[in-house]
Chain A
Amino acid sequence: MAHRIEVAMKGHLADPIGQGVKKRLAEDLGIEVEDVRVVDVYTIDADLNAGELERLRAELFTDPVIQDSVVDHSLLCDYSHIVEVGFRPGVTDNVGKSSAEAVADTLGRSLRPGEGVYKSTLFAFTGKTTQLTCDRIARDLLANGLIQRWVIRSREEMAGLHGESLLGLPIVTERSDPVVHEINLGLTDEQLVALSRGRMLALELDELRAIQSYYRDPQVRAERARQGLGAQPTDIELEILAQTWSEHCKHKIFNATIQFTDADGSTRTIDSLFRTYVKAATDAVAKNVDWLVSVFHDNAGIIRFDDAWNFALKVETHNSPSALDPYGGAITGIVGVNRDILGAGLGCRCIFNTDVFCFASPFYDGEIPPRLFHPRRVLRGVHQGVKDGGNQSGIPNLNGAIVFHERFLGKPLVFCGTGGLIPATVAGRASHEKRANPGDLIVMCGGRVGKDGIHGATFSSEELHEGSPATAVQIGDPITQKKLVDFLLEARDLGLFNCITDNGAGGLSSSVGEMARKPGGAEVHLERVPLKYAGLAPWEIFLSEAQERMTLAVSPVQIRDFLALAERRAVEATVLGNFTDSGRLECFYEGKLIGALRMEFLHEGLPKMRLKARWKPPKLLREPLIEGNDLASALKAVLGSLNVCSKEVFVRMYDHEVMGQSVLKQFYGVDNDGPGDAGVIRPVPGSSRGLAVACGICPKYSDLDTYRMMACAVDEAMRNLICVGAKLGRIAGLDNFCWPDPVQSEKAPDGEYKLAQLVRCCQALYDVCVAYGIPLISGKDSMKNDYKIGDTKISIPPTVLFTAVAILDDVSKVVTMDVKRPGDRVYAVGETRDEMGGSEYLALFGQVGTTVPTLEPSRALALYERLSQAIEAGLVASCHDCSDGGLGVALAESAFAGGFGMNLDITPLGFDSNAVALFSESPSRFVVTVVPDKAADFEALLRSHPVTGLGEVISEKVFRLRGYGGVNLKVALGELKEAWQKTLRW
């Protein structure tokens, strides 16, 4: 029988969580209530006596100092309505799961199979609430109907009840029969396409035909007959192929043959964007650097950190799941990329996270199309997911950004990145080399398998549509994963496994299928997979993307030690089969072969995609530049714009210092609130060697020119690193492409244009990385970032996040962006040009402009070399990247971060427009301050470069600036900082 324990703060104490709900009700929904009290509800479905229940209430669920609680009764009586929110059956309930463990500790016995603890939350509202307002509160603030359910009751309705469960137990009752079906592929083209759509396979017609002819091949037929398999594919075979061949896993667009027609009508053929531009850039740069260890073929790129340690980096996106459930999508994204690092080489330890989000304005006041959430809710949910995932895993957040553009309403972008460290040698082996051998056992470790996340890989390979499945949404469980990480790092150092990889998209089908390539086959017994609940079909078990799992290859001689250690660390580890050299991936269920695919067909049988791209420069609207005389207001408006303003509120909620390696945090200056350019850590205790991490992202230029957008993004990341003291030749890069569907079709009638944008973008990536000497060590693409329901289609602006990392020899030489003392000279370093296109200034007037900032890589490189020499020589007191908002913003930020004013004259920049001088966003520029007695040396070192003295730092807290045409600006430092901080001070 189920029992219910309700726990709440004692009546005389404040309830900060309830107060938070009250505040957000007012801010986000405009609903005013008098009071909100929160009650934690634990429903214990177990056979317990009254004494046991009382022990659990008193010793486990209640904090006697501050809380009241009751068993099987209602705790509150003073409210107008209550809303109780709990999970739907099968959704990960982390608190319920921990509680079950804790109940066992308290009772001195484990819960029996079928017994469980379930968490729900009751919100009690006082005020003029109605059923209708409560329903809105539940739907728009407290719960997500996809993963949660709720009930609403008035006080009168509750009067007759005595603590009965309102929601019912969230137990999965829906069962799939463990039956294997054959799928008839003797179909017409139209029927094949319908089959693909109906089963969520996301396969193209060409691919379906390739599968059709594989099964028609007499040799294959004969082989199948010998094994006892029919002539048609089984469901599990078809599903394995769909996952393995998904855009998500195989990057079909980046590997396609593209017929590119340029604006002048000339055409050329590009055989794989990946090989032609991305890999080619790395190959070109690799000749000049000696620190690349493993690039492009593992879960993450690996480079040398020092003689004893290697460093791994990976950035992933989790856009589609975050659109459906912002919290679950984001937390799954961050703990997922952590596993990529754990699965890189023989297993790296995560040492930092990065996070970059793209949203529509949180102040959006238009209609929200069906199945989408308001951007404010998406922002809050995604942020909370990344916060919980990072903080609970004990991995510090080091760098990030939040970027706003109206078209991210259709799909938010959630980039989660992680860096990791691994000894170059573990247990006597080079740590970046790994392989499963025939005979090695396949071992799955960590969480159990449920229906969660089935079809995640194929789902994210399509636009968000009406039928997008709720099962693709999951909630990460950082603590299960933390236990897994602790265990695997211990096992790694003992040399207890030969190969490791993550279970991400495609689940076991992908991890086993991938790992089986080297030995040349595998044999998996699916009934051995531990399940969260009964009733999964074998193909569901193999495809489930249930989280917190790794797949390993363990030699039979080590399996006992491996499993014994797993048990001591309370980690579930199960042998599922073994790797073979049969040339086939074979799946068994209860002893019967239910699927076999040739490894060669599985991995090489995918037909190459052939696509057309046609470039036609966009017609841009020339509009007159609006320029007023009130420079102070303009500067404050640009500082307060969404892309420029302070994101400190969000960053403070991330733990950015756990692990004790912090050197430069996200915010610094006299009040610890100035915006940093790059995060710096010193990951090896006792060593002065460091890592600097930064990013560049500028989708606002994409509609104008994706070539320049990409060039500016690489340059921005590079500048950020140069600012803190990175040196050329020591910087590695990583690209994450997020594109709207670039495959011409009825759904994407402008696919050829979008593909041409992609080609130009890749060209820029190659050009700039080769010029800058930045090898690309890893990357990822997400190619279907569109929303389409009914007649509404929203496609994101083409976006690339460029993440860059530099190895620093001595962290004590880093430079920061805050001005240091009055009297220091202020310089604009780099050339300011009239490049207002896409600028934050024009955006204030709803304009986009025409002239996108143009990068000149060779000139920029020469400048960076000199500037980094100046920093190395100790000539620079502060250095700040000039990006969104231009010089005006960089100058103001440097001043208020340091807590000193500036006296400036911008006329030496030589413009007849103050708006252009202050707000043009030309790349390759910095604001630098220099102590007066070092100014001559600084100027001499940079004499062949555009360096303009603009004035000096002053002790008075005033920002004073002489502009062109007798227009001057004088504004208190505090006012500038307030303008910058207030926009997102939530």
Chain B
Amino acid sequence: MTVRTLVLTGFGINCDYETEWAFRGAGSDAQRVHLNDLIGRPALLDGFHILAIPGGFSFGDDIASGKILANRLRYKFGEPLLKFIADGKLAIGICNGFQVAVKMGLLPLFNGALTQEVTLTNNDSGRFENRWVNLRTDPGTRCVWLKGITQITLPVRHGEGKFIPREEAVLEKLRAQGQVALRYCRSDGSPVGEVFPANPNGSVDDIAGICDPTGRIFGLMPHPEAHVVRTQHPRWFREALRPEGDGLQIFRNAVEYVNWRLS
């Protein structure tokens, strides 16, 4: 069947084109849709299986990264979005999209309610930085987007990527429910221990990505759509790499999941 992906665009989202290409590369019929068109006609979402909120600088990251878009989605699109999730469909928030997801409470979505439990804020360095990081999938995660992936290399490009839970109990719950999806790690896969630059922003417990309790909603700071072909890797010309980029499998997992479970 045709797996259809809606890639959100507008108001400063700027990784929409490459996110669309990444989903297409993974076999999905992906389409960029402007936020105003979606809010104007929420039923549009019914025709899609996957929703992607790409990276960018929605509303300039003014007030706080992702905040204004998060509020707009929550107020004007909260119900259709929760119904989409309840229908067993998939969603991903990448970088700014992840910031949007946590600020509107779409992640970690503990009790099916849009409540903010964690945040993503200024990097410890106080700077926006673009650098490549190593990432390891938490072995106990329920995240369907990471199936079969143990360790990958992706770029981070953000100034506000430091993951902080509201309180220790939130972190415990995330761990207990298999919602910690991805952690920054060293090149040999060993834990970083919250040290720069392997952990590029000071995230608590080196957390780079989390999912909802079902594993179908995934948010992460690194950019999988920026590593779908080999030549995007910073050392492709001097290292033996796989012919495809590490990020592509993430999109493929989603497409395969839809094919398996939703067809």
A residues sitting closer than 8 Å to B (CB atoms) are 13-14, 16-17, 19-20, 40, 42, 59-61, 63-66, 94-95, 97-99, 101-102, 105-106, 108, 387, 391-394, 477-479, 482-483, 486, 568-570, 652-663, 665, 667-670, 672, 682, 685, 811-812, 814-816, 818, 820, 898
Task: Check: B121 CB closer than 8 A to any chain A CB.
Answer: yes
Nearest-CB residue, chain B, relative to A655: B157
Q: Are A16 and B124 closer than 8 Å at their CB atoms?
A: yes
- Given B11, B76, B123, B157, which contacts A16 in the complex, CB threshold below 8 Å? B123
Knowing A66-B164, A569-B36, the reply to whether A660 touches B60 (Cβ < 8 A) is: no
Query: What's the Cα separation between A549 and B148 when bound, in Å?
Result: 49
* Mask: chain B, 209-243; 1 = CB below 8 Å from A; 0 = not: 00000000000000101101001101101100000
Query: What's the Cα separation between A811 and B236 when bound, in Å?
Result: 12
Nearest-CB residue, chain B, relative to A102: B68
12 examples of A-B residue contacts, CB within 8 angstroms: A19-B126, A61-B63, A95-B63, A101-B59, A102-B68, A394-B14, A483-B10, A568-B37, A658-B226, A660-B21, A672-B235, A814-B237
Query: What's the Cα separation between A971 and B85 when bound, in Å?
Result: 61
Query: What's the Cα separation between A726 and B178 when bound, in Å?
Result: 50
Q: Are B157 and A653 closer than 8 Å at their CB atoms?
A: no
Q: Are A102 and B59 closer than 8 Å at their CB atoms?
A: yes
Knowing A653-B130, A660-B21, A660-B226, the reply to whether A672 touches B234 (Cβ < 8 A) is: yes
Nearest-CB residue, chain B, relative to A682: B231
Nearest-CB residue, chain A, relative to B68: A102
Residues of B within 8 A of A479 (CB): 11-12, 57, 59-60, 62
Q: Are A652 and B130 closer than 8 Å at their CB atoms?
A: yes
Residues of A within 8 A of B37 (CB): 568
Residues of B within 8 A of A668 (CB): 234-235, 237
Nearest-CB residue, chain A, relative to B247: A660
Knowing A658-B15, A660-B18, A660-B226, the reply to whether A569 touches B10 (Cβ < 8 A) is: yes
Secondary structure of the B contact surface, majority rule: mixed
Q: Are B63 and A655 closer than 8 Å at their CB atoms?
A: no
Q: Are A105 and B75 closer than 8 Å at their CB atoms?
A: yes
Knowing A95-B63, A652-B129, the reply to whether A63 touches B121 (Cβ < 8 A) is: yes
Query: What's the Cα separation between A667 and B36 when bound, in Å?
Result: 39
Q: Are B75 and A568 closer than 8 Å at their CB atoms?
A: no
Residues of B within 8 A of A483 (CB): 10-12
Task: Check: B134 CB closer than 8 A to any chain A CB.
Answer: no
Residues of B within 8 A of A106 (CB): 71, 75
Q: Are B64 and A656 closer than 8 Å at their CB atoms?
A: no
- Given B68, B123, B132, which contacts A672 in the complex, CB threshold below 8 Å? B132
Residues of B within 8 A of A898 (CB): 238
* Mask: chain B, 119-148; 1 = CB below 8 Å from A; 0 = not: 101111111111110000000000000000
17 additional A-B residue pairs with CB within 8 Å, beyond A568-B37, A668-B235 = A60-B63, A63-B67, A63-B119, A64-B116, A64-B166, A65-B118, A65-B165, A95-B60, A105-B71, A105-B72, A391-B157, A477-B60, A653-B128, A659-B18, A670-B238, A672-B132, A814-B237
Knowing A66-B164, A818-B238, the reply to whether A658 touches B60 (Cβ < 8 A) is: no
Q: Are A94 and B232 closer than 8 Å at their CB atoms?
A: no
The interface centre, meaning the residue of A40, A568, A667, A685 with most chain B CB atoms within 10 A of its CB, is A685
Nearest-CB residue, chain B, relative to A42: B63
Task: With both chains docked as a complex, state the minimum distance between the C-beta of A458 and any C-beta of chain B, in angstroms.
Answer: 31
Q: Are A482 and B12 closer than 8 Å at their CB atoms?
A: yes
B residues sitting closer than 8 Å to A (CB atoms) are 9-12, 14-15, 17-18, 21-22, 34, 36-37, 40, 55-57, 59-64, 67-68, 71-72, 75-76, 103, 116-119, 121-132, 155, 157, 164-166, 223, 225-226, 228, 231-232, 234-235, 237-238
Closest 8 CB pairs of A and B: A394-B14, A660-B18, A98-B62, A65-B119, A20-B126, A16-B126, A479-B60, A392-B57
Task: With both chains docked as a complex, state the minimum distance between the C-beta of A173 and any C-beta of chain B, in angstroms.
Answer: 26
Task: With both chains docked as a complex, state the minimum distance between the C-beta of B62 and any C-beta of chain A, in angstroms.
Answer: 4
Knowing A394-B14, A479-B59, A660-B225, the reply to whether A665 touches B234 (Cβ < 8 A) is: yes
Query: What's the Cα separation between A653 and B76 when bound, in Å?
Result: 34
Q: Are B68 and A670 closer than 8 Å at their CB atoms?
A: no
Q: Are A60 and B67 closer than 8 Å at their CB atoms?
A: yes
Q: Are B122 and A17 closer than 8 Å at their CB atoms?
A: yes
Residues of A within 8 A of B75 (CB): 105-106, 108
Residues of A within 8 A of B225 (CB): 660
Knowing A65-B165, A98-B62, A570-B36, the reply to whether A816 touches B237 (Cβ < 8 A) is: yes
Nearest-CB residue, chain A, relative to B170: A65
Task: With both chains docked as a complex, state the minimum distance between the C-beta of B173 and any C-beta of chain A, in angstroms.
Answer: 14
Query: What's the Cα separation between A812 and B229 when bound, in Å?
Result: 11
Q: Are A478 and B130 closer than 8 Å at their CB atoms?
A: no
Query: What's the Cα separation between A392 and B237 when bound, in Å?
Result: 30
Query: What's the Cα separation between A437 and B18 when bound, in Å?
Result: 37
Nearest-CB residue, chain A, relative to B34: A569
Knowing A65-B164, A668-B235, the reply to whether A391 touches B128 (Cβ < 8 A) is: yes
Query: What's the Cα separation between A391 and B126 when bound, in Å?
Result: 16
Query: What's the Cα separation between A641 and B103 when bound, in Å?
Result: 46
Nearest-CB residue, chain B, relative to A59: B71
Q: Are A60 and B12 closer than 8 Å at their CB atoms?
A: no
Knowing A482-B14, A814-B237, A818-B238, the reply to whether A65 touches B166 (Cβ < 8 A) is: yes
Q: Are A16 and B122 closer than 8 Å at their CB atoms?
A: yes
Query: What's the Cα separation between A914 and B129 when bound, in Å?
Result: 40
Query: What's the Cα separation between A815 and B76 when bound, in Å?
Result: 51
Query: What's the Cα separation between A899 and B243 when bound, in Å?
Result: 25
Task: With both chains docked as a complex, state the minimum distance between the C-beta of B209 and any C-beta of chain A, in angstroms.
Answer: 17
Q: Are A658 and B128 closer than 8 Å at their CB atoms?
A: no
Query: What's the Cα separation between A17 and B14 when bound, in Å?
Result: 25
Residues of B within 8 A of A20 (CB): 126-127
Residues of B within 8 A of A13 (CB): 164
Query: What's the Cα separation between A659 and B14 when bound, in Å?
Result: 8
Query: What's the Cα separation between A61 and B64 when bound, in Å?
Result: 8
Task: With both chains docked as a complex, state the minimum distance between the C-beta of A729 and any C-beta of chain B, in angstroms.
Answer: 24
Q: Are A658 and B122 closer than 8 Å at their CB atoms?
A: no
Residues of A within 8 A of B34 (CB): 486, 568-569
Q: Are B121 and A658 closer than 8 Å at their CB atoms?
A: no
Residues of B within 8 A of A657 (CB): 130, 155, 157, 223, 226, 232
Q: Are A653 and B11 closer than 8 Å at their CB atoms?
A: no
Nearest-CB residue, chain A, relative to B132: A672
Task: With both chains docked as a complex, state the minimum distance between the C-beta of B160 and any C-beta of chain A, in angstroms.
Answer: 10
Task: With both chains docked as a complex, state the minimum distance between the C-beta of A905 and any C-beta of chain B, in angstroms.
Answer: 26
The interface centre, meaning the residue of A14, A20, A98, A478 with most chain B CB atoms within 10 A of its CB, is A98
Query: What's the Cα separation between A266 and B122 when bound, in Å?
Result: 65
Knowing A17-B122, A61-B63, A102-B63, the reply to whether A486 touches B129 (Cβ < 8 A) is: no
Nearest-CB residue, chain B, relative to A95: B62
Knowing A394-B15, A658-B55, the reply to whether A66 touches B119 (Cβ < 8 A) is: yes
Residues of B within 8 A of A652 (CB): 127, 129-131
Nearest-CB residue, chain B, relative to A477: B60
Nearest-CB residue, chain A, relative to B201: A16
Query: What's the Cα separation between A655 and B10 when bound, in Å?
Result: 19
Knowing A19-B126, A816-B237, the reply to whether A99 touches B63 (Cβ < 8 A) is: yes
Query: What's the Cα separation between A665 and B237 when bound, in Å?
Result: 12
Q: Are B129 and A14 closer than 8 Å at their CB atoms?
A: no
Task: With both chains docked as a complex, state the minimum distance between the C-beta of B34 and any C-beta of chain A, in angstroms.
Answer: 7
Q: Are A387 and B128 closer than 8 Å at their CB atoms?
A: yes
Residues of A within 8 A of B67 (CB): 60, 63, 102
Residues of B within 8 A of A811 (CB): 231
Residues of A within 8 A of B71 (CB): 59-60, 102, 105-106
Residues of B within 8 A of A105 (CB): 68, 71-72, 75-76
Query: What's the Cα separation between A97 and B68 when bound, in Å?
Result: 12
Residues of B within 8 A of A661 (CB): 18
Query: What's the Cα separation between A477 and B194 when bound, in Å?
Result: 35
Knowing A98-B59, A657-B226, A658-B55, the reply to whether A17 touches B126 (Cβ < 8 A) is: yes
Residues of A within 8 A of B56 (CB): 394
Query: What's the Cα separation between A66 and B119 when bound, in Å?
Result: 8
Residues of B within 8 A of A42 (CB): 63
Residues of B within 8 A of A663 (CB): 231-232
Q: Are B130 and A660 closer than 8 Å at their CB atoms?
A: no
